[in-house]
């Protein structure tokens, strides 16, 4: 390839001493393109103009990862780490700017070992959430784990940025339940919680992927779930009063009992209320009629099942099975389209009149959708902002995710992307400000990108996006970065820049 340099030859040669050649793919290998594509979830990052890796390395053990990092450093080859490939901006496998890099694809490192005695598990970063949930469900129908809804999301990226789903209000984020981790740092060392140091262990739990090294595996605490949970899906159209019900939901959902999580999908002219309740329908009915009578919820909407059955039911639909959690390529069909997404946090309920405007904007041609996830509850609202890098806790009513999709055959998404940007501008007065908070795992490069000065990402420039994702934790993250990777070997367009103590 014309991009190849002597340093990239050196990289390959160096790898050959420690990694079997069948685990290393160059651009000319017939497997390179299918492998690159295998976990790309946003096809807008699989077009000819996209800056691709020069190599893909697929380690099968920790020593391969250590060797790849050491060879990369010695030969000036940067590495991007990919676990599940779900990054909204594709940063695990493509670069926004011209750059020579290799991808370390962790999909072969995906063991899940559950220890029922201690209700803990070790899960490798290359596992999907579905593989983790499946193993937990196999071990016991009274254990669960609080993380995202989509079963194909990778553990590595998801845990690095926080990770939340239907158990958020009861048990917090995925990172709130991580008790140990194994990290390969920029010196190629294999570190655990004790040897990486408390600042770095704090940083990798929510401070974002790529910045601190390669996290190989995570030890998590599993959480108790009842033998029977109840799920429901209740659509309310605009003509049935959706504007009023959503307006009311903002006050109700964040203050419900922690066992009850009700999120809202707002699309076109319908608000769909999707819920997981940790208990039976009999126990749920009186809570709904006393706390949220506006939804006019009744027994016919209740579906009782085990927690593990609820996972595919909620995300993949009523025809799906627990075994579908093991399919690494199933995902909602919309994700075969290109998409643009971004996020907000709401700390004060949005007035009814504004919701009426929002509904009229969602009726426009090429409009996107909104997902509202309620916060509150002891384990999310009651945890200090500095406990983990993820700061969106006390006082947050709910998270908003905005998404817009398009068929890749039908265009480049310019219209849909513009719709998201215009809608984001419209929402500014009604959401958190100074900073306007955003969720790292819904990565959006519109929020800002690193500026590299003297071969190191600038701390100052990174504040623009860093405060939105991390608020005041950004500074402590930058100090942790300077401890573990002062030369900024691990970096991307939104990685944490180093900040030496003296700065």
The residues of the shown chain that bind ligand FDA, judged by CB under 6 A, are: 41, 80-88, 91-92, 106, 125, 148-150, 153-154, 156-158, 160-161, 163-165, 209-210, 214-215, 331, 335, 441, 492
Tokens 């996209």 belong to residue: 50
Q: Which residues contact 471 (CB under 8 A, 6 or more apart)?
A: 385, 391, 435, 437
Task: Select 83 or 247, whichever has its Cβ closest to ligand FDA.
Answer: 83
Q: If you write DSSP's letter for every residue of 29-72 in order, what string do you get?
A: STTHHHHHHTT---GGGSSTTSB--SEEE--SSHHHHHHHHHHH
Pairing of strands 78-82, 101-105: parallel
Q: How many CA atoms lie within 13 A of 251 on its CB side?
A: 10
Q: How far is the CB of 151 from ligand FDA (least distance, A)?
A: 9
Q: How far is the CB of 145 from ligand FDA (least distance, A)?
A: 13
Secondary structure class of 246 (helix, strand, coil): helix
Long-range contacts (CB closer than 8 Å, 24 or more residues apart) made by 464-468: 465/494, 466/496, 467/435, 468/435, 468/436, 468/437, 468/438
CA gap 183, 236 in Å, rounded = 46
Q: Please give the structure tokens belonging to residue 306.
A: 């085990």
In angstroms, give the least distance from the CB of 204 to ligand FDA.
8
Nearer to ligand FDA (CB atom), residue 150 or residue 222:
150
Are 338 and 405 within 8 A, CB to CB? yes
Closest contact distance (angstroms) between CB of 387 and ligand FDA is 17
Judged by beta carbon, residue 284 or residue 311, the one nearer ligand FDA is 311
CB of 380 vs ligand FDA, minimal distance in Å: 12
User: Cβ contacts of residue 88 below 8 Å, gap of 6+?
Assistant: 42, 339, 341, 442, 443, 444
* Shortest Å distance, C-beta 284 to ligand FDA: 22
Among 397, 395, 393, 415, which residue's Cα sits nearest to residue 406? 415
Q: In terms of CB distance, is 215 or 480 closer to ligand FDA?
A: 215
> In sequence order, which residues have a C-beta less than 8 Å from that of residue 246 and are 6 or more positions away?
264, 266, 271, 355, 372
DSSP code, position 487: T
What is the closest distance, in whole angstroms, from the C-beta atom of residue 2 to ligand FDA in the complex?
26
Residue placing its CB nearer to ligand FDA in the complex, 32 or 335: 335
Q: Which CB, 86 or 392, lies closer to ligand FDA?
A: 86
288 vs 346 by CB, closer to ligand FDA: 346
Select 125 or 247, whichever has its Cβ closest to ligand FDA. Answer: 125
Angle between helices 473-484 and 459-470 (to 10 degrees): 130
Token pair of 253 as six digits: 């959902």
Rg (CA), the chain: 22
Q: Which two tokens stand for residue 319?
A: 């025809």
Residue 174: name the closest of 154, 192, 193, 191 by CA. 154
In the complex with ligand FDA, the residue whose CB is nearer, 106 or 132, is 106
Q: What angle do CA 283, 287, 293 make, to 5 degrees?
A: 135
Q: In the numeric block, which tokens belong to residue 29?
A: 């290998």
Beta carbon of residue 160, minimum distance to ligand FDA (angstroms, whole number) = 5
> To the nearest whole angstrom, how small is the minimum distance from the Cβ of residue 240 to ligand FDA?
27
Q: Which is nearer to ligand FDA, 96 or 304 (CB)?
A: 96
Least separation, in Å, of the C-beta of 282 and ligand FDA?
29
- Which of residues 174 and 246 has its CB atom nearest to ligand FDA in the complex? 174
């Amino acid at each position: 390839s014309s991009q190849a340099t002597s340093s990239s030859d050196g990289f390959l040669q160096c790898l050959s001493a420690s990694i079997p050649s069948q685990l290393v793919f160059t651009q000319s290998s017939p497997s390179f393109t299918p492998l690159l594509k295998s976990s790309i979830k946003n096809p807008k990052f699989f077009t000819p103009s996209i800056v691709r890796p020069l190599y893909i390395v697929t380690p099968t053990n920790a020593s391969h990862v250590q060797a790849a990092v050491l060879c990369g450093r010695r030969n000036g080859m940067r590495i991007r780490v990919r676990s599940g490939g779900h990054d909204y901006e594709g940063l695990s496998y493509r670069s926004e700017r011209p750059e020579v890099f290799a991808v370390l694809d962790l999909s072969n490192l995906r063991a899940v070992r559950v220890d029922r005695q201690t209700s803990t598990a070790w899960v490798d970063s290359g596992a999907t959430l579905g593989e983790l949930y499946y193993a937990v469900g196999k071990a016991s129908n009274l254990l669960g784990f609080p993380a995202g809804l989509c079963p194909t999301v990778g553990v590595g990226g998801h845990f690095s940025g926080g990770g939340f789903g239907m158990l958020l209000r009861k048990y917090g984020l995925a990172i709130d339940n991580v008790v140990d981790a194994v990290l390969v740092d920029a010196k190629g060392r294999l570190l655990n919680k004790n040897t990486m140091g408390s600042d770095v262990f704090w940083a990798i739990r929510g401070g974002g992927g790529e910045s601190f090294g390669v996290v190989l595996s995570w030890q998590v605490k599993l959480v108790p779930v009842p033998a029977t949970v109840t799920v429901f899906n209740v659509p309310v159209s605009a003509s049935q009063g959706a504007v009023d019900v959503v307006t009311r939901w903002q006050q109700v959902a964040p203050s419900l009992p922690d066992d009850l999580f009700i999120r809202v999908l707002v699309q076109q002219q319908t608000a769909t209320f999707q819920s997981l309740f940790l208990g039976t329908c009999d126990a749920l009915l009186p809570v709904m009629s006393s706390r949220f009578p506006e939804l006019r919820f009744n027994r016919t909407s209740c579906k009782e099942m085990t927690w593990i059955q609820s996972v595919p039911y909620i995300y993949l639909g009523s025809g799906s099975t627990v075994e579908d959690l093991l399919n690494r390529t199933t995902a909602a069909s919309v994700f075969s389209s290109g998409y643009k997404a971004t996020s907000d946090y709401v700390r004060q309920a949005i007035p009814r009149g504004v919701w009426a405007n929002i509904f009229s904007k969602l009726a426009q041609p090429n409009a996107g959708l909104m997902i509202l996830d309620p916060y509150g509850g002891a384990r999310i609202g009651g945890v200090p902002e500095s406990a983990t890098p993820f700061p969106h806790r006390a006082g947050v009513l709910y998270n908003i995710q905005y998404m817009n999709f398009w068929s890749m055959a039908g265009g480049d998404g310019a219209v849909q992307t513009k719709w998201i940007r215009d809608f984001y501008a419209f929402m500014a007065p009604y959401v958190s400000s100074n900073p306007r908070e955003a969720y790292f795992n819904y990565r959006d490069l519109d929020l800002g990108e690193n500026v590299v000065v003297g071969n190191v990402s600038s701390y100052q420039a990174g504040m623009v996006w860093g405060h939105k994702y991390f608020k005041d934790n950004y500074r402590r993250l930058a100090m942790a970065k300077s401890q573990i990777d002062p030369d900024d070997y691990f970096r991307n367009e939104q990685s944490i820049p180093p900040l030496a103590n003296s700065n």
